[in-house]
Structure 1
Amino acid sequence: MAIQTIIVGTGRHIPAVIVPNSAFMHHQFHGPDHQPIDKPNEEILEQFEAITGIHERRYAPDDLLTSDMAFLAAEDALASSGIDRESLDGLIVAHNFGNVRPNAHRSDLVPSLAARVKARLGIRNPGAVAFDLVFGCPGWLQGVIQTDCMIRAGAARRVLVMGADTLSRVSDPHDRDSLIYADGAGAVILEGREGEPGEGILAHAARSDTFEHSTMLLMGPSYRDSAFLEAFFLKMEGRKLYRYALHHVAGAVKDCLDKAGVDLRTVAKVLIHQANLKMDEAILEALCRLAGLEGAPPGLMPMTISWLGNSSVATIPTMLDLILKGDLEGHAIRPGDTVVFASVGAGMNINAVVYRFPRS
């Protein structure tokens, strides 16, 4: 009997603060040259929504930190799994900025967020090793991949993998790209079980294209106040990132499917990082072409970006939890379904996982 890595619990925390696009109607937007953008904000916001699909996003309230949201998602996952938290062998928190307090303009990374979450969960077991993972937006999925490797190597049996970020606190209010960013947290518990091959994680793949593409997402100054907080705000070269994703992501996912021996025609859902509606649709179209399909079946790719925005490492686990708990209208995952997870982000990094839900 082979060891299979199975999802035994999921959880999420969606912040309560809803920020519609209209909240940015009176912002002063500037370009990389620090000059004001010569367009009315109404036009900027209309173009933004048409491209990204975002009409609102969620921000964490001032009294909530990234580690707090990771803790809340973890508690939700533990409740759904019914396992004893002391039986965990590991806790991984994927994030990119640590705890950023409102208006503090610095990242708090010591101790690790995973250590803080473990302490707040009240876990005393010293064998439950807690560590952070920074891998851009694909960080949560990379944590899943690392966990699968640990389980198959016999180094762990149960691991809690969380993804949490507060991108709203590293967003330049004068940068149009910052309209994409949001906050949130999601979590899964993975467990190694003996079973027949063909269930759980079937295959995974990852790549890092750093030689030419490492600076497409980086920290930089405000577009309006260049002398202020020289490298605090998240910046991206949106058009270059878009082209990179279209050129590389579909191929990486197809390679992962081939590695798993799975035909895209048999896949129930493709859960892709919620970065940009048009980009995700183009990636799915490219994947379908590579798989010999004329178009994507209806409902293959759920989307939450319209109301949750891009919460980085939290987008996929949040969406997974919404579907599994029946909270994402029009979408369901059933026993025996095969699901593809895929993400792309700073690094530039890409990863993918093919997962089959157990039939019982």
Structure 2
Amino acid sequence: MKIKKTSLRKSFEDLGKIKVLVIGDLILDEYLIGSVERISPEAPVPVVWVRNEKQSLGGSGNVVQNLSSIGVSGVVFGRIGLDKAGDSLEGHLLANSVTSQDLVLLKSKSLPTILKTRIIASHQQICRVDREEVVPLTIEEEKNILLQFETKLKECAAVILSDYDKGYLTPSLIQSVIALCNRENKIVTVDPQVSHFFLYKNIHIMTPNHHEAGKALGRKLTSDLEIETACREISEKLTPDAMMITRGEKGMSIYERKTNSFYHIPTVAKEVFDVTGAGDTVITTYTAFIATGMPIADAALISNVSAGIVVGKLGAATVTQKEIEEGLKTLGYLEVES
């Protein structure tokens, strides 16, 4: 399987001409980075001497910064709190090629912005502290969101549902969003949650990992045959154009329903440093390149290579066009025409 260099370059050009709408659960990731030199006298736990702090977009926000990194403009729908973390999250979104007009945020007076703090020492995560309240949207909130969504959808080539099951993507909102996308003939892709797994009907593609797909079906998925059977079973219920199951060290498998075709793509990661956000990179790069008209198999190959790059970085990292091209070339997936 190879991608023609001229085709890749054409897609790179087209990425700058499209918008992708991201709707889902916004999260602010915080990192406290330091070293451990002693054990606390108060309890048998390490004392982390913090030397550096940083914040970045997590959840659906990481999808947005992945879009920005490959040159795609984003339209963002999500919820934050009226707090310091919310201000920071909004600032990060605006810094990632999202204009204020394309930032449709529900700002809650009663709920905090979801904040996940990771404490890291000597490249090891010591612990994570989560601050969140999972509360579904009200009926009135959903109505207002859908009115704005319907307007913004017309500007976009594709929609990504980034579901972290934090209350924003309710069952009724999921179904309404997909129905509107189908009515407007827009590509819709889903990074799913098991609790909503069989609600994502009539989409282009869903990208669960093998644990999520297995949990939804009530069994473990290990072999290629088990993955293929699962893809067909899920597709019969949801009727997507394609199914993608990511498989960790085994790479990913893609099923095209109309042609009954499978592609098993091996992992390309040389060194796994942090898997945080790898799934966001997969769905982002796949969706963006599909929106430029690239075939399913080629877009999947690019998403696999992109994921292999980001797992070698710390935190919810991103990938660039240059890194994608270099990665494809290094792995022998880039065909240079004479």
With the shorter chain as reference, the TM-score category is 0.3 to 0.5
Instruction: Write 1 or 2 for the structure with the bigger share of helix.
Output: 2
Larger RCO, structures 1/2 (Cα 8 Å, 6+ apart) = 1
**TM-score, normalization by structure 2:** 0.34
**TM-score, normalization by structure 1:** 0.32
